[in-house]
C-alpha cells in the first residue's frame, strides 16, 4: 500500500523525514526537503514509519542526477541527489539541532571536502552467491556493486578482480605507497602500511587498524587541532583513544615544550604509537600506554594543573566512568573529537556542570554519506 508524504528535513541518519497524510512521521531514503512523494511503507512503528520511495509527486528544484546508480537502494550514500552545498547546510543544521540545549555556542564555518567522490581509502564488502556488495538498510539484503563512487579508484580496480568463490566479508584498504590490501575481515591483517599526512608526515599503521578514511579532510582536522593546542598555551597534553598517536605526535612536533601522554586500548596500536614517535623524533616527550581509557585516566597524575585533555572516542562516545574521571581530574581545557554528533551531545550534557563550550567545528570527513566529524573546544568553569 502506498501513501503520500510531505518531506520537511534530512534526519541525522541521512534519511529524509516527512509527514504522511495521517500526520504520522515517516523516514524515506532518496527524498528531499520540500518534495511531496509517494512511499511504500515497509516498517510501521507506534511513533513513526519507514517508507520506500516510489514516486516524486512534487520535485524539489535542488534535485540533481545521482552519481551512484545504486542510490537510494544502497544506504552508503545519503546526499548524492543534491548539490554539495545542500548536503553541507543540512549537516550543519543537524549538528546545531543536536546541540540545541546549549546556549551561546560559537560555530565555525563547516570545513567541506574538496571532492564528493573517490575519497574513501578503506571499505568493507560482503561476498555471497558469487556477488559482492554492501548491506541494505535491513542489514541483510546484499546490494551488488562492481565499483563504488566514493571509493578510491585503485580500490574499484581491485573490486573487479575479487575472488567471489567464498562467502565472507573483505576489507579493501588503499595507500599510495603500498597500493590496495585485501583481507578477510574476520581474520584481519597485521601487515604494516604507510599513511601520509601533509601536516605531520608519515605514520605506520596495521592494515586492519584505525586511520581516517579521507586523507584530505584528515589533514585539515589535524591542522586545526594542532592550532587549538598551540592556542591553549599548555605544557601537558593527555590524549585518550589515541589510535597510532597522530595528534600527540603532531602536537609535540609543533610545540617543543609540550609533553604528551597517550592511551589506547589496542596493544598493537600502542606499539605503532611508540614507533611513530621515534620516527618523528619526539619519543622523549610522548609516552603511550595500552589499556582502557577510563581506567588508565583514573590513575593519571598530571604534572600541571592547566593540562589539556584530548579525546577521540568511538561512535558510542564516552561511558559514565570516563565522564566521572574527567570531572575528578578537571583539566583546564578539553578538546573533544567526535564522529557521532548524537553521542557527542549526550556527553556534553553530562559535562555541562563543569565545562562551557567555547566553539564547535564540523569537518565533512565523509562527504555524500550521512556522517561527519566535529571538533568541540571546552573550557573549565572557574570555581566560585
pLDDT in tens, 154-187: 999 999 999 999 999 999 999 999 999 999 999 9
The percentage of residues in the chain with a pLDDT greater than 70, rounded to a whole number, is: 99
Output DSSP code: residue 156. Answer: H
pLDDT above 90 (res 137):
no
Do 125 and 93 form a contact (C-beta atoms < 8 A)?
A: no
Q: Read off the pLDDT of each residue in 8-12 and give the average, rounded to a whole number.
A: 97
Do 303 and 236 form a contact (C-beta atoms < 8 A)?
A: yes
* pLDDT confidence band for 384 (50 / 70 / 90): low
Which comes out higher in pLDDT, residue 302 or 54?
54
Cα–Cα distance, 308 to 250 (Å, whole number): 15
Half-sphere exposure of 31 (CA within 13 A, CB side): 34
* pLDDT confidence band for 93 (50 / 70 / 90): very high
Cα–Cα distance, 64 to 83 (Å, whole number): 7
- Reported as a single tens digit per residue, the pLDDT across 247-266 is 999 999 999 999 999 999 99
Quick one: pLDDT at residue 293? 94
pLDDT above 90 (res 383):
no
Average pLDDT of the chain? 96
Cα–Cα distance, 241 to 220 (Å, whole number): 20
Cα–Cα distance, 262 to 244 (Å, whole number): 9
Nearest to 74 by CA among 145, 11, 123, 157: 145
CATH 3.40.50.150 maps onto the chain at 88-115+195-380
Which comes out higher in pLDDT, residue 138 or 184?
184
Angle of helix 215-232 relative to helix 246-254, nearest 10 degrees, comes to 50
pLDDT above 90 (res 84):
yes
In three-state secondary structure terms, 337 is strand
* pLDDT confidence band for 303 (50 / 70 / 90): confident
Do 285 and 258 form a contact (C-beta atoms < 8 A)?
A: yes
Q: Among this protein's residues, is 339 annotated catalytic?
A: yes
Cα–Cα distance, 248 to 203 (Å, whole number): 12
pLDDT above 80 (res 244):
yes
Which comes out higher in pLDDT, residue 137 or 3?
3
Please indicate, yes or no, whether the overall pTM of this predicted structure exceeds 0.85.
yes
CATH 2.40.50.140 maps onto the chain at 2-63
ω into 72 cis (within 30 of 0): yes
**297 — phi, psi (to 5°)?**
-70, -30
- Reported as a single tens digit per residue, the pLDDT across 318-358 is 999 999 999 999 999 999 999 999 999 999 999 999 999 99
pLDDT above 90 (res 282):
yes
Quick one: pLDDT at residue 382? 82
Tell me which architecture the domain covering 2-63 has in CATH: Beta Barrel (2.40)
Nearest to 336 by CA among 314, 353, 321, 320: 314
Cα–Cα distance, 224 to 199 (Å, whole number): 10
* pLDDT confidence band for 68 (50 / 70 / 90): very high
The set of cell numbers assigned to 348 is 556534553
Strands 122-128 and 131-135: antiparallel
Q: Which of 273, 286, 325, 339 is catalytic?
A: 339
| Fold of the domain spanning 88-115+195-380 | Rossmann fold (3.40.50)
Amino acid at each position: 500500500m502506498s501513501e503520500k508524504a510531505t518531506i520537511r528535513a534530512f534526519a541525522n541518519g541521512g534519511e529524509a523525514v516527512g509527514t504522511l497524510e495521517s500526520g504520522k512521521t515517516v523516514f524515506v531514503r532518496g527524498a528531499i526537503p520540500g518534495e511531496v512523494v509517494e512511499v511504500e511503507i515497509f516498517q510501521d512503528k507506534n511513533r513513526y514509519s519507514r517508507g520506500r520511495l516510489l514516486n516524486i509527486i512534487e520535485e524539489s528544484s535542488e534535485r540533481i542526477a545521482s552519481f551512484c546508480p545504486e542510490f537510494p537502494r544502497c544506504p552508503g550514500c545519503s546526499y548524492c541527489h543534491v548539490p554539495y552545498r545542500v548536503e553541507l547546510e543540512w549537516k550543519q543544521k543537524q549538528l546545531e539541532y543536536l546541540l540545541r540545549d546549549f546556549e551561546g555556542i560559537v560555530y565555525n564555518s563547516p570545513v567541506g571536502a574538496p571532492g564528493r567522490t573517490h575519497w574513501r581509502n578503506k571499505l568493507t564488502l560482503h561476498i555471497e552467491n558469487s556477488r559482492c556488495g554492501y548491506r541494505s538498510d535491513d542489514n541483510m539484503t546484499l546490494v551488488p556493486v562492481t565499483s563504488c563512487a566514493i571509493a578510491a579508484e585503485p580500490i574499484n580496480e581491485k573490486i573487479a578482480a575479487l575472488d567471489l568463490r567464498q562467502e565472507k566479508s573483505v576489507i579493501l584498504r588503499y595507500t599510495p605507497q603500498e597500493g590496495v590490501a585485501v583481507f578477510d575481515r574476520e581474520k584481519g591483517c597485521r601487515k604494516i602500511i604507510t599513511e601520509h599526512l601533509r601536516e605531520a608526515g608519515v605514520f605506520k599503521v596495521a592494515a586492519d587498524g584505525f586511520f581516517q578514511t579521507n586523507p584530505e579532510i584528515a589533514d585539515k582536522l589535524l591542522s586545526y587541532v594542532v592550532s587549538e593546542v598551540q592556542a591553549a598555551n599548555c605544557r601537558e597534553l593527555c590524549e585518550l583513544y589515541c589510535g597510532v598517536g597522530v595528534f600527540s605526535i603532531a602536537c609535540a612536533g609543533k610545540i617543543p615544550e609540550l609533553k604528551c601522554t597517550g592511551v589506547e586500548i589496542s596493544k598493537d596500536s600502542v606499539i605503532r604509537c611508540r614507533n611513530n614517535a621515534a620516527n618523528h623524533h619526539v619519543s622523549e616527550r610522548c609516552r603511550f600506554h595500552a589499556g582502557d581509557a577510563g581506567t588508565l585516566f583514573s590513575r593519571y597524575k598530571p604534572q600541571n594543573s592547566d593540562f589539556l585533555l584530548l579525546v577521540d572516542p568511538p561512535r558510542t562516545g564516552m561511558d559514565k566512568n570516563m565522564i566521572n574521571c574527567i570531572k575528578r581530574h578537571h583539566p583546564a581545557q578539553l578538546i573533544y573529537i567526535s564522529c557521532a554528533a548524537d553521542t557527542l551531545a549526550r556527553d556534553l550534557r553530562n559535562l555541562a556542570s563543569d565545562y562551557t563550550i567555547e566553539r564547535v567545528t564540523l569537518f565533512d570527513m565523509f562527504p555524500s554519506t550521512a556522517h561527519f566529524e566535529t571538533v568541540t573546544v571546552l573550557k573549565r568553569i572557574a570555581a566560585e
